[in-house]
């Protein structure tokens, strides 16, 4: 879309679920840019999706794991003239990334990183191997079977999580590896050396050329279902340096991402997870002035970018439950 085109966009948020705050952030950004924005949202069950009700138009799509999912999205892009597609959940990222050229041919920009990056971030064992290969500080990681076969390599506490999990599902800290012996799991599980210190989420933004343009850490004061419930933005030089180190080696980063890290009492920082999508805590970074949604809209419209590092530290987010009502 050229700079001379009408300043109006059609946005599709996929697997929208509860992402009302993300939709609101896009609306605020469009208003700040003085552009029109039609927001479409899709979900497997739009009737019970708060975000689908909050969008201008909500519609049903097949399950993400279905072979019909990508064709259904492409059909929606063509039918509604979608300009920008923003995915929100891990299971859909790799199929979408692999189909990015199809979306481009249909006229839609897909706000997603390369398939190589998405595949690595979606597999926590591959993430650990990637971080280790590039000398990025991170905890020792192994499959549960490998760890139990070499207990002497794990003298302290460990953290257990699914290899392909998300939203904090199945995670737990265990004071000793021996306590895991005999524990059954119905999916591949990983063991990581237990980190101590202060936990952060670091929201990061890459422009369309893959350049790191923003690094916004927030301290995770309280977490519910793997998502920050209470948090505060902080400027932490160690985390900014960690983000720069990561950005230098990521293959094809694009748009919004985040990573999880721990800062120990001695000031050292370790990264232990990467998410190749908008993080659940993005609204905090947005409110602090790091408006990733605005920057995505600017890129799609060909407007001069307003990316800047002047976000505010000390901004606190205190989430609470709200309701969306629907009647026949």
Domains of the chain in sequence order: 8-111 (3.40.50.20), 118-122+196-318 (3.30.470.20), 140-193 (3.30.1490.20)
**Which residues lie below 8 Å from residue 317, measured CB to CB, with a gap of 6+?**
218, 228, 230, 231, 232, 281, 283, 284, 287
For the segment 170-181, the average pLDDT, to the nearest whole number, is 81
pLDDT level of residue 168 (50, 70, 90 thresholds): low
CB atoms within 10 A of CB 304: 7
- The confidence score (pLDDT) of residue 282 equals 96
- The confidence score (pLDDT) of residue 227 equals 78
Residues 178-187: tens digit of each pLDDT: 887 656 677 8
- The confidence score (pLDDT) of residue 7 equals 84
- The confidence score (pLDDT) of residue 167 equals 61
- The confidence score (pLDDT) of residue 184 equals 60
Confidence check: pLDDT of 120 > 90: yes
User: Do 278 and 256 meet the contact criterion of CB atoms below 8 Å apart?
Assistant: yes
Taking the C-alpha atoms of residue 198 and residue 53, their distance in angstroms, rounded to an integer, is: 37
Confidence check: pLDDT of 202 > 90: yes
**Which residues lie below 8 Å from residue 62, measured CB to CB, with a gap of 6+?**
44, 68, 69, 72
- The residues facing 206 across adjacent strands are 212, 255
Q: Give the Å distances, CA to CA, from 183 to 160, 285, 295.
A: 11, 39, 46
Residues 216-264: tens digit of each pLDDT: 999 999 887 767 889 999 999 999 999 999 999 999 999 999 999 999 9
For the segment 295-314, the average pLDDT, to the nearest whole number, is 94
Confidence check: pLDDT of 5 > 50: no
For the segment 190-202, the average pLDDT, to the nearest whole number, is 95
Q: Is the model more confident about 90 or about 227?
A: 90
Taking the C-alpha atoms of residue 216 and residue 210, their distance in angstroms, rounded to an integer, is: 17
pLDDT level of residue 308 (50, 70, 90 thresholds): confident
Taking the C-alpha atoms of residue 279 and residue 41, their distance in angstroms, rounded to an integer, is: 18
Which of 27-31, 113-117, 145-149, 169-173 has the lowest average pLDDT?
169-173
pLDDT level of residue 320 (50, 70, 90 thresholds): confident
Residues 53-75: tens digit of each pLDDT: 999 999 999 999 999 999 999 99
CB-neighbour burial class of residue 29 (10 A; exposed 0-12, middle 13-18, buried 19+): buried
State the DSSP code for 39.
Answer: E
Taking the C-alpha atoms of residue 304 and residue 326, their distance in angstroms, rounded to an integer, is: 39
Secondary structure (3-state) at 259? strand
- The confidence score (pLDDT) of residue 165 equals 72
- The confidence score (pLDDT) of residue 2 equals 44
Confidence check: pLDDT of 3 > 60: no
The whole-chain average pLDDT of the chain stands at 93
């Amino acid at each position: 879309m050229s700079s001379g085109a009408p300043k109006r966009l059609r946005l599709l948020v996929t697997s929208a679920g509860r992402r009302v705050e993300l939709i609101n952030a896009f609306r605020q950004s469009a208003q700040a840019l003085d552009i029109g924005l039609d927001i479409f949202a899709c979900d497997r069950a739009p009737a019970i999706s708060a975000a689908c009700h909050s969008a201008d138009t909500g519609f049903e799509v097949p399950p993400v794991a279905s072979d019909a999912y990508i064709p259904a999205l492409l059909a929606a892009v063509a039918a509604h003239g979608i300009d920008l597609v923003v995915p929100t959940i891990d299971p859909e990222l790799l199929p979408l990334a692999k189909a990015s050229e199809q979306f481009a041919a249909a006229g839609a920009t897909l706000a997603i990183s390369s398939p190589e990056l998405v595949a690595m971030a979606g597999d926590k064992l591959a993430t650990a191997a990637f971080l280790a290969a590039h000398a990025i500080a991170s905890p020792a990681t192994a499959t549960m079977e490998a760890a139990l076969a070499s207990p002497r390599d794990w003298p302290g506490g460990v953290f257990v999580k699914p290899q392909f999990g998300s939203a904090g599902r199945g995670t737990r800290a265990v004071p000793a590896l021996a306590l895991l012996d005999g524990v059954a799991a119905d999916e591949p599980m990983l063991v990581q050396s237990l980190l101590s210190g202060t936990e952060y989420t670091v929201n990061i933004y890459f422009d369309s050329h893959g350049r790191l343009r923003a690094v916004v850490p927030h301290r995770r004061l309280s977490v519910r279902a793997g998502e920050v419930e209470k948090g505060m933005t902080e400027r932490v030089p160690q985390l900014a340096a960690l983000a720069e180190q990561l950005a230098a080696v990521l293959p094809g980063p694009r748009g919004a991402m985040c990573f999880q890290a721990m800062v120990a009492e001695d000031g050292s920082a370790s990264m232990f997870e990467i998410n190749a999508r908008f993080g659940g805590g993005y609204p905090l970074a947005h409110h602090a002035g790091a408006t990733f949604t605005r920057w995505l809209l600017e890129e799609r419209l060909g407007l001069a970018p307003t990316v800047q590092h002047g976000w505010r530290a000390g901004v606190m987010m205190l989430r609470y439950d709200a309701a969306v009502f629907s009647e026949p």
